[in-house]
């Protein structure tokens, strides 16, 4: 009687191979579907986000409108980011507007401080110019001469004062242009009279701790000067509103 070979033990399951039979595990082998498993049902409808667009626009405007545009861009940016998390839209616009708002604010803080320092540093020049023009217009020639470095003759100062009086009462003196280099300054501005506004130009030199006028001219006064009036400028630096040579 022949002997049957003893039964062999089952071989262990090798990793990485499906179980015998070639059938997928129970459940069909398909990943579960639904919002909690990353399937198609997870996609949410995209809504509108006006805050993101408003943040981007005000962020760009912030470079033209100091501070206000930047502040609005930052505010709208935060609102847009909050809404983007709910409606799945406008996140990029909101972040871009927020960054532009921060950048524009930083730029104006940096350059604004520099501008304020320049304005403060040239305040003495504008004060000296206003005082000189006021003294001339009021006919206080002695005080006006004290405002100069002595290079403008008294008769020329009198001619200047008469020319300024011809424009009416003095309302204001505005000096937006002040360029200071070492101990010399060049100024340009507008004198407001009762008859209207007239531009002026002036040069100053620093004497001690004060600024003294060396040249003053109102171009409109030159055109209105009577024939034969006025005198020559002292030392070639004293220009006059009555038409003397510079």
Question: So where are the chain's domains?
Answer: 50-120, 124-236
Whether the full predicted model's pTM is greater than 0.75, yes or no, is no
Pick the CATH number of 124-236 from 3.30.2270.10, 3.40.50.1370, 3.30.70.1350, 3.10.450.50: 3.10.450.50
3-state secondary structure of 166: coil
Least confident of 25-29, 77-81, 154-158, 208-212: 25-29
Please report, rounded to a whole number, the percentage of residues in the chain having pLDDT higher than 90.
Answer: 37
Work out the pLDDT band at 229, boundaries 50, 70, 90: very low
Distance CA 120, CA 139 (A): 30
Helix 123-138 vs helix 91-121: crossing angle, to nearest 10: 50
Question: Which tens digit of pLDDT belongs to each residue from 60-91?
Answer: 888 888 788 888 988 998 898 988 888 888 88
**Residue 118 neighbours by CB under 8 Å, 6+ apart:** none
Mean of the per-residue pLDDT values of the chain: 77
Residue 99's nearest CA partner among 126, 44, 59 is: 59
Rounded to an integer, the average pLDDT of 51-59 is: 88
CA distance 133 to 114: 29
Judge whether residue 31 has pLDDT over 80.
Answer: no
User: How much is the pLDDT for 191?
Assistant: 95
Rounded Cα distance, 57 and 229, in Å: 59
Q: Is the pLDDT of residue 18 over 60?
A: no
Return the ∠ at Cα 116 (arms to 115 and 122), rounded to 5°: 90
């Amino acid at each position: 009687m022949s002997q049957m070979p003893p039964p062999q033990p089952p071989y262990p399951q090798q990793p990485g191979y499906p179980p015998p039979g070639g059938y997928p595990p129970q459940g069909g082998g398909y990943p579960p579907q639904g919002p909690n498993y990353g399937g198609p049902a997870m996609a949410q409808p995209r809504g509108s986000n006006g805050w993101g667009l408003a943040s981007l626009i005000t962020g760009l405007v912030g470079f033209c409108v100091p501070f206000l545009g930047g502040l609005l861009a930052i505010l709208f940016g935060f609102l847009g980011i909050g809404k983007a998390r709910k409606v799945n839209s406008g996140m990029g616009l909101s972040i871009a507007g927020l960054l532009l708002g921060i950048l524009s604010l930083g730029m104006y803080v940096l350059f604004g401080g520099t501008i304020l320092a320049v304005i403060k540093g040239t305040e003495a020049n504008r004060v000296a110019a206003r005082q000189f023009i006021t003294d001339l217009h009021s006919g206080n020639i002695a005080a006006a001469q004290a405002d100069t470095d002595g290079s403008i003759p008294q008769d020329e100062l009198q001619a200047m004062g008469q020319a300024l009086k011809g424009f009416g009462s003095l309302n204001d003196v505005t000096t937006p242009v002040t360029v200071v280099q070492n101990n010399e300054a060049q100024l340009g501005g507008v004198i407001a009279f009762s008859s209207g506004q007239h531009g002026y130009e002036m040069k100053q030199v620093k004497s001690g701790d004060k600024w003294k006028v060396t040249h003053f001219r109102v171009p409109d006064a030159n055109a209105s000067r009577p024939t034969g009036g006025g005198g020559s400028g002292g030392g070639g630096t004293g220009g006059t509103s009555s038409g003397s040579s510079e």
